[in-house]
Homo-oligomer: A and B are copies of this chain.
Amino acid sequence: MGYRVAVVGATGAVGREILKTLQEREFPVDEIVALASPRSTGREVSFGDRTLKVQNLETFDFTGWDVALFSPGASVSAIHAPRAAKAGCIVIDNTSHFRMEPDVPLVVPEVNPNDLKKAKRGIVANPNCSTIQMVVVLKPLHDLFTVKRVVVSTYQAVSGAGKDGMDELFTQTKGTFVNDPPKIEQFQKQIAFNCIPQIDRFMDDGATKEEWKMAVETKKILDPEISVMATCVRVPVFIGHSEAVAVEFEEPVDLKKAREVLREAEGVILLDERDDGGYVTPIDCVGEDATYVSRLRIDPTVPNGLAFWCVADNLRKGAALNAVQIAETMIALDLLPNRN
């Protein structure tokens, strides 16, 4: 007995990855529908061997559907996620729109699965990609030594800006070989062979919204006592976000224990040889489910300091996979009613 599943924003980079992930993980699907804006209606997307014709989100009736995985723009979710929830369909929303609302759980299944029980409005939010991979690694360390403060610098792939972001890196890069001046549309400056220290818009305090998200989402998911200082940077990488993380803990840090607990941790793979090439890079992680940890070392410049480098496929664990894992966890916790 499976579920009636809707995928919203099915033609985007994350929407397609959600369809792929549902199929690969053999999510119990009875019926599936691909939805998108009127502009994309009638287009086709793949679900395993099948081809789904994309239907119009705006006129779609969610009555009788069990779960909807939303990954359109934030303004689209703002309108249609509550509409789906009101029709009795559980919404797992990948946009930033509902994340900080107190009655919407913000969940990474390896970190705070039980928050799913608080989804009173029928909406669960999927955290920001750069937050997810960091908290997956911080969680087991927090249990051991209690995280106090995190300083993180990100190296974020262009696919975080969707298919258009990937196309822009591709086109600009190709252009440099034929002397085409770069066309700048998705990002604020040229991204080919460059680094851009801005993701999302600027806030009043000089941080960007992406940096603010990492701080407030970590508090909501892991512990409100943790403070996060983030600098978020777009780099010319197609897929795979990397993060250089320096953590200060309450309690004395034991490197051997930290290694052990990361080796055991769900969703984490420790690959750390302290030798040429003995670490993970974004290209190594494309299509992988785990968050990889390398460069784990004591930070001697502060009491109880530990630093690491982590990398994950931002389209999978950073988005599609985490959303599907939320649905799976809701089934396991008996929170996803099956009306069949």
Binding site for B on A (CB under 8 A): 149-151, 153, 155, 169, 173-174, 177, 188-190, 193-198, 201-202, 205-207, 215, 227-229, 231, 233, 235-238, 242, 244, 246, 274-277, 279, 281-284, 294-302, 305, 307, 309
In the assembly, what is the distance between CA of A164 and CA of B307, in Å? 31
- Known contacts A228-B301, A229-B301, A297-B205; A237 and B281 CB within 8 A of each other: no
Contact yes or no, A155 B235, CB < 8 A: yes
A134 CB to nearest B CB, Å: 14
Q: Which residues of B contact A201 (CB under 8 A)?
A: 276
Q: Is the CB of A196 within 8 A of B235?
A: no
Q: In the complex this chain forms, how many copies of it are found?
A: 2
Q: Do B302 and A229 have beta carbons less than 8 Å apart?
A: yes
Partner of A229, one of B177, B190, B246, B309: B246
Distance to closest chain B CB from A37 (angstroms): 25
Most chain B CB inside 10 Å of its own CB: which residue of A169, A174, A190, A236 = A236
Can you report 10 residue pairs joining A to B where beta carbons are below 8 Å apart? A149-B301, A153-B153, A189-B281, A194-B282, A197-B242, A197-B294, A198-B276, A201-B276, A229-B301, A233-B242
Q: Which residues of B contact A149 (CB under 8 A)?
A: 301-302
7 nearest A-B residue pairs (beta carbon): A206-B297, A153-B153, A227-B301, A231-B244, A188-B277, A153-B244, A229-B301
Is there contact, CB below 8 Å, between B194 and A153?
Answer: no
A286 CB to closest chain B CB (Å) equals 10
A276 contacts which chain B residues (CB < 8 A)? 188, 198, 201-202
Q: Could you say which of B202, B283, B296, B299 contacts A193, with CB atoms under 8 Å apart?
A: B283
Across the interface, do A235 and B195 meet the contact criterion of CB distance under 8 Å?
Answer: yes
Contact status B193-A237, CB under 8 Å? yes
* Assembly CA distance A249 to B104 (angstroms): 39
Judge whether A189 and B277 touch: CB under 8 Å. Answer: yes
Flag if A237 contacts B194 (CB, 8 Å). Answer: yes
Least CB distance, A212 to chain B, in whole angstroms: 11
Determine the chain B residues whose CB is within 8 A of the CB of A299 once the complex forms. 229
- A282 adjacent to B202 (CB under 8 Å): no
CA distance A228 to B194 in the complex (A): 25
Report the separation of the CA atoms of residues A189 and B271 in the bound assembly, to the nearest whole angstrom. 15
Nearest CB of B to A158, in Å: 9
Question: Whole-angstrom distance between the alpha carbons of A301 and B275 in the complex?
Answer: 33
Residues of B within 8 A of A246 (CB): 151, 229, 231
Contacts of A198 in B (CB 8 A): 276-277, 279
Q: A151-B151, A153-B231, A195-B235 are in contact. List 14 more A-B contacts (CB 8 A).
A: A151-B246, A173-B173, A188-B277, A195-B281, A195-B282, A197-B309, A198-B277, A202-B274, A202-B276, A205-B297, A205-B300, A206-B298, A231-B246, A231-B307
- Given A149-B301, A202-B276, A231-B309, residue A242 in contact with residue B281 (CB < 8 A): no
CA distance A194 to B197 in the complex (A): 17
A26: min CB distance to chain B, Å: 32
Whole-angstrom CA separation of A151 from B301 in the bound complex: 9
